[in-house]
Every structure is written in structure tokens, then in C-alpha cells.
Amino acid sequence: MFAEFGYGVLVVSFIVAIYSGVTAVYGAANKSPALVESARRAMLLTFPLISLSAAVLIYLLINNHFEVAFVYEVTSRSMPTYLKITAWWGGQAGSLVFWSWLLAVFTSAVTLRKWDRDIEFLPWVITVSAVTLIFFLGMSVFFENPFTRFWLVGGNVEPSMFAPANATVFTPQDGQGLNPLLRHPGMVIHPPLLYLGFVSFVIPYAFAMAALITGRTDDRWIRISRRWSLWAWLFLSFGLVLGGRWAYDVLGWGGYWGWDPVEIAAFMPWLTGTAFLHSVMIQEKRGLLKHWNMILVILTYALVIFGTFLTRSGVLSSVHAFANSPIGPFFMGYVTLTLVVSVALVIWRWPILRSETEMKSMLSREALFLLNNLLFMSILVVCFWGVIFPLISELFTGQKVTVGPPFYERATAPLFSALLFLMAIAPLSAWGHSTIQTLGRAIWKSAIAALVVTVTLFFTYTQIPGALIGFFLVALALFATLHEFWRGARARQKAQNENFFTAISRLMGRNRRRYGGYIIHISMALMAIGILGIEIFQKETQGTLSQGEQLNIAGYAIEYRELASWDSQGEGVNYTRAVLDVYENGIYLGQLNPRIDYYFDSQQNMTIPGLRSTLRDDLYVLLVDWQPVSNLGATFKVYVNPLVNWLWIGSLLFLFGIIFAAWPEPDEAEEPARVARSVSQTSAAD
């Protein structure tokens, strides 16, 4: 009854989305504001409709309606209610509805904005959003229906939406339960944040397409989509960071990023999005790279769909992938279709997207931004190559060959290093024209400071060349950026006669984008410290200890005390928890409690590390095995991850930086002319 109702509403929203898309095109073609308005209202209607359908699904999830196949797959009686709700995005069928629902949220929000200055975009923004929505709803309606039920037909159980002949509904006693790895708080919000990031990139794409179709290719679309992209970028970044932290906390391999195809799938739109956020500034300030920005937005959208496809289709095996599904070819078809149509539109509008000026100096800000874009695209190419390489090699040689993390690390390390270097110098160069001399004058102090740091590290910490180069670049980027803050604040202090702190807070408040960007640069440098630490200096050891025995690693001693194992019937979990004493150079530091949680319903383990975290290093201990008689011994794997905390500190600062930059400015309505702005912002290399 509920299942039919939920499905019915889903079908209705599918039809409404089709109506909205068709009416919008028809209204635009016939210049009929009434039709466009009708399309707009239909689009608005999809949000309550999909919400209703989702509410039914959540009702079924919460109330143990295991006759619904999706509910059976992702919940069980022992799961707490909040996890039953989040199970909505814990499986294939539900997560597609979740995608559609988020898209409806965003398209509703965008159709409610003030359209007076850009009304000609409206029908096309609706059309593009509607097409995307139709695609995802279609997936749910025809292939991955979350309301499919089990039917008992002559002794066999069959999943089906509608009752087969002579069938009765079959309700299993209990569900399979959500994969325990997905029950971690980080995992509860990691997928929705990634999806938010994915889905909100649909809007910039919709505006880009609207600009191409209407031929209004001035800065308007870029101004609107810039802010959307920034929020999308925030969610995507947040999702990626949380995913890393989750992996570190529960996957039990001492790492945070495994170059898994699905991680890369989420990382690729982040790369093009980041490139776009940089190159969009060149278009705003200098009127250059208009074609390029279009291509970046299109690419980001295609990568978003492609990323969803990789997680959904089971084409690539990965910890993230859901089971095999028939929807793969449809996703591929859709990605291809949108790419072809979008690129055709860009080619059609090529002449009116001409640059307004020319790029002259190789060291000008715009040239360095272009270089930054090339580096991001190079990393993208590396990632893309790594993901599709097994498919390509099989096609051409018949031999299935794959590349693992070493490939990505080796190929991207020089590119990331170059990005760090650019991060140090690009903000110091001027728009239009810069020379070695002006740049040198701006950076020599930071360079000397960075050199001092590097030499100090050489004598006290490490002699590995790669690490030293890395630390030098990090220090250079940090000092150069901090110097920018200092210089800006000093200039304002003198001009306005304010004290230093008033000056720096007003300076930042008045130039949110610029200083938000700098905060992000600093956070990137901090994250780089953590990554260098764990990638280059990670140490590990393992061993089986009997009570009172010790394992030694990097100055730490870990002594095995005891182990306890008990069932928690209410939660349906068995906990096995070890108690370890930790010493450093003979001094007692405290206890660690690595444990293994065994979930009865899904028969799966979750390995929770015992973690002691400091700014210098993390001691990360995993319980891997134990003897039946627990005091005989237990096996531990121990990692020491130097500096990794800086990765998380940097991540937090990173999110703060994006929010700072994206926060609406009060006087945004008045946009000064391009010339005036470019003069005021050329202050850098003075």
C-alpha cells in the first residue's frame, strides 16, 4: 500500500519533470512568458513530490517493512532509528532517489531567485535541470526502483513492483542490515556531502548552457555560477575530507586516501571545479579564456555524472562500488549525449566567446593562472588515465593491466609540487605584466625564510631530497601568503590610521574572495605537511604479544595488558577490545584501546584503531587477531604516522577558508567596472 503510493508519487514527479522541460523549451521558442512560468512552477512542484516519495521510503525504512527489497537490503531490526533514516543513501536504489531529491532542492532554489536581470536564461536553466532530473528519476522509475517488494510465487521469492499472478507479499523476519562500515558518524554524512557537491555543480552547468543557447555570453552567467560553484566546491571538498578522515578512523589500514577508482571519481570533478574557480577570475578581470571556462564547466558536469556512474554501475571493483547493475550503459549513454550536445553548442558559439584582450607576459597573473589550470588538468589526465587504463589495455592487448597507488603518487607528485610553487608566486604577480625582477622583489624574503627552514630540517629531521623539496615548497607558499596578509594589513594601517588588527580584519572583510583564497592556500600548505609526513615517513610494525610483552617502534613501546570480548545484544554487536600501555622512551603516556566490532546481522567486522594523536605524529594501533584464550596473546599492527595531524588541521582551515570566501558580501549588488577593479587588485608586486 505504502510502497505503491511511494512509487506512484515518484512516477508523477517523473512526468512533471518531463512537462517542465518540454514546456520550458516550447515557451522559450515561442517567446511565451506564460509557458515559461508554467514550466517554472512545474519545476518547483518536483521538490514536494520527490520529498513525499522519499518520506514514504523513510517511513518504510523506519518501520521495518522488510517486504520491500531495498529496506531488506539496508536495514535490520537492531539498527537505531537514525541509522535507518540514513540507510536511505546506503544502497543503490535509495541513493538515486536521494540524488534526485537534492537536485530538486537546488533547482527549486534556483528558480526562486530574482530573475529580472537575466530572465532570458530562465527557460534554459529549467530545461537543463529538468533533463538531468528526468534522467535520474527515470533510473529510479524504470531500473532501480526502491519500492520493489518480495512476492511468494509457488514457493519461490521474487522481487517485483507489482503483484505477479497468484502471489502473496513475502516479509522476511529481519533485514540484512546496513554495512557496518557505513554506520560510522563520518560515513553518515560523507555521502550526502559528496552528493551535494556533485548535484550543485549541475546549476553552473545549466547557466553555462543557457548562456550558450541564448548567445548572451557576457560575464553574467559566470557571476551567477561562480558563487554556486564555490558552494558546490565547499560540499565536494568537505565530502572528500570527511571520506579521508573516515577511512583513517574505521578502515584500519593506517591511511586516508587509497587512490581507489571511486575516490578518484569524486576527485576528478573537484579538480576541474578548482581549475574553474581560478580561471573564472581571469575572465572577470581580463575577459580572457571564455572558451576554456565553458569547457571546464561542461567537463565538471560530465565528470559528476561519470562519478555517479562509477559508484553506481559496478564497472570497477572498489570498496565503494555497489553491486552490478543494469544502469551502466544508460549512464554512459547520457554522459556521451550531454558531452556531444554541449561541445556542439560551444563550437556553434565559438566566435562570440572571443577573448577581449591578449595574454602578453609569461609571468603575468593571468599566464600563471593559465599554468595553474594546465597543472590541474594534467592531474585530471593522470587520474583519468589510471582509471580507464585497465579497460584500454584490455581492449588493445587483451591483457588486463591495472595501475595502483604507486602510479598516481609518482605521476602526480611533481604536478602537486609545481602547484605549491605556483601558489607561492602567482598571488605576487600583477595582472597584465610582470617580470622576473618584480616577482623576485616580492618573494625574496619568503624564499630566504623557506631556505632557512629547509636547512634546519636537513640537520634536524630528514635528509631525503624529495621531502626537503616538499618542505621547501610548503614553507615558501606559507611565508609568501602570510607575507601578503602582512603587507596588505600594513598598507591599510598606514593609509587608514588603524591599529594592525583592525586593519587586517577590515582588509579581509572587504576582500573576502581574495583573502578566503589565501586562507585556502595556507590550508593547502598545511595539508601538504601532513601528506609529506605520512607518505614519506610512515613507519609500521606488527607482532603477536602475550600479556606483558612489548612492541617497539620509533621510540614508542606498546605493552599488551589485557583483552575483553563481549556481546551487546541490543545493538547486535560483539566488541573485542584490547588494553595497551604506551610508553615513549620509558615514560608512561597512557592507554590505547584498539578494538574489533563484529556485526551479527551483516556478519562483518569493523576495525577501530587505538589512536594517540599529537602535532608531531600519530600512534595508530590496530587489533588484528587474538587467541581463543585471550591472555595467551593478541596480534597488533602498529603505524607511526608523522605530522598527519596537520592534514586534518589544514582540512578544517580549508573549509573555513571556503566559507569565508563564499559568504555573501553586503554590497554585492554594486559591481564596479572591470577597469577600476583590475587597478585596485594589481597592488601585489609593488
Partner 1 sequence: MKVNKFFIGGGLILAAVVYLIASSTQASAEYFMTVDELKADGASAVGKSLRLSGAVIGDTIQYDAETLNLTFEVAHVSGDNNEIEAQGGLAEVLYQAVNDPSRQRVSVVYVGPKPDLLRGEAQAIMTGKIGADGIFHADELLLKCPTRYEEAVPEQAATN
How many Å from the N-terminal Cα to the C-terminal Cα in the chain? 72
Q: Which residues, numbered 272-331, are part of the site for partner 1 (CB under 8 A)?
A: 323-324
Least separation in angstroms between residue 115's CB and partner 1 is: 39
- For partner 1, which stretch binds (CB under 8 A), given 36-44, 56-64, 405-413, 426-434? 405-413
Q: Cα–Cα distances in Å, from 160 out to 2, 70, 132, 139?
A: 15, 11, 26, 16
Helix spans in 426-563 (H): 436-460, 465-496, 500-510, 512-537
432: three-class secondary structure by DSSP = coil
Q: Which is nearer to partner 1, 331 or 646 (CB)?
A: 331
> Is residue 157 a contact residue for partner 1 (CB under 8 A)?
yes
Q: Is 58 in the site for partner 1 (CB under 8 A)?
A: no
Please identify which residue in 603, 613, 614, 680 interacts with partner 1, judged by CB under 8 A: 603
Q: What backbone torsions phi and psi does residue 671 show, to the nearest 5 degrees? A: -110, 110
Take residue 420 and report the three cell numbers written for it: 605549491
> Is 156 a residue that touches partner 1 (CB under 8 A)?
yes
- Tell me phi and psi for residue 634, to 5 degrees: -145, 155
Binding mask 532-551 for partner 1 (x = CB under 8 A): ----------xxx-------
Q: Is 8 in the site for partner 1 (CB under 8 A)?
A: no
> Which of 74/230 has CB closer to partner 1?
74
In the bound state with partner 1, the residue whose beta carbon lies nearer, of 156 and 499, is 156
Stretch that binds partner 1, among 200-208, 403-411, 476-484, 672-680 (CB under 8 A): 403-411
391 binds partner 1 (CB under 8 A): no
Contact with partner 1 (CB under 8 A) among 51, 176, 502, 565: 176
Q: Using an 8 Å Cβ cutoff, are 588 and 568 in contact?
A: no
Strands of 156-160's sheet, edge to edge?
Answer: 156-160, 149-153, 168-169
CB 147 within 8 A of CB 57: yes
The distance of closest approach from Cβ of residue 566 to partner 1 in the complex, given in angstroms and rounded to an integer, is 18
The side-by-side arrangement of strands in the sheet containing 610-613 is 539-545, 634-642, 617-626, 610-613
Count of residues in the chain: 686
Instruction: Please give the grid coordinates belonging to residue 192.
Output: 550526502
Within residues 337-366, the interface with partner 1 by CB under 8 A covers 358-360, 362
Residue choice 627, 671, 680, 686 for contact with partner 1 (CB under 8 A): 627
Helix (H) or strand (E) holding 613: strand 610-613
Question: Least Å distance between CB 518 and partner 1?
Answer: 26
Residue 268's H or E segment, with its range, is: helix 261-286
**In 59-200, which ranges are E strands?**
149-153, 156-160, 168-169
Binding status of residue 166 toward partner 1 by CB under 8 A: no
Contacting residue, 605, 678, 681, 682, with partner 1 by CB under 8 A: 605
Dihedral sign, Cα of residue 360, residue 363, residue 364, residue 370:
positive
d(C-alpha 621, C-alpha 615), whole Å: 17
Which of 35, 134, 367, 685 contacts partner 1 by CB under 8 A? Answer: 367
State the Cα–Cα distance between residues 457 and 461, nearest whole angstrom.
5
Question: At its nearest, how many Å lie between partner 1 and the CB of residue 253?
Answer: 10
**Which residues 571-600 are close enough to bind partner 1 by CB under 8 A?**
596
Q: Which stretch binds partner 1 (CB under 8 A): 2-10, 462-470, 478-486, 602-610?
A: 602-610
With CB under 8 A as the rule, give the number of residues binding partner 1: 57
Q: Is 155 in the site for partner 1 (CB under 8 A)?
A: yes
List contacts with partner 1 (CB under 8 A).
69, 72-73, 150, 152, 155-159, 170, 172-173, 176, 179, 323-324, 358-360, 362, 367, 371, 374, 378, 381-382, 385, 389-390, 399-404, 406-408, 410-411, 414-415, 542-544, 596, 602-605, 624-625, 627, 633, 635, 637
